[in-house]
Amino acid sequence: MATSDNVIRAGLTPKFKDVDVLLNMLTYRYGSAKSQILNPIPYKNHKSTTLYDPPIEEFSVSMTRLNSLEKREVFDGMPGPSIIIVTNGNGAMTADETSELLEPGSVFFVGANVPIMVEAATGSDGLDFFRAFCTLK
């Protein structure tokens, strides 16, 4: 949910519930679960990274999969903040001359305009991570 001062409650609270307004503002898209899946697209010039760009302006998600051939990716700073979550493998991330170990379940905040370098650990099968980000205008 995007940042907002507006909250419409529909239940499970003693506060005011406005179910009718909630139901009127929802968008229903019918179809199979498979038809709802976003197709990844290449992300800039990165060989190991794909972009999942939902039809909303608030955020996008990239997935980076480093393997035995591509063990390193360098990313320019993004104009907005981002969050990285590691889902598989081990490695290291360097940002602003600080290095952090990466392992499954690791979560990191990366500030706006901070370039990062991510590298899979030597001898590992690879490294997979997702990065959710927003672009400030």
**Active-site option among 9, 29, 72, 131:** 9
Closest CA to 64 of 78, 79, 43: 43
User: Is residue 65 among the annotated active site residues?
Assistant: no
- Residues marked active site are found at 9
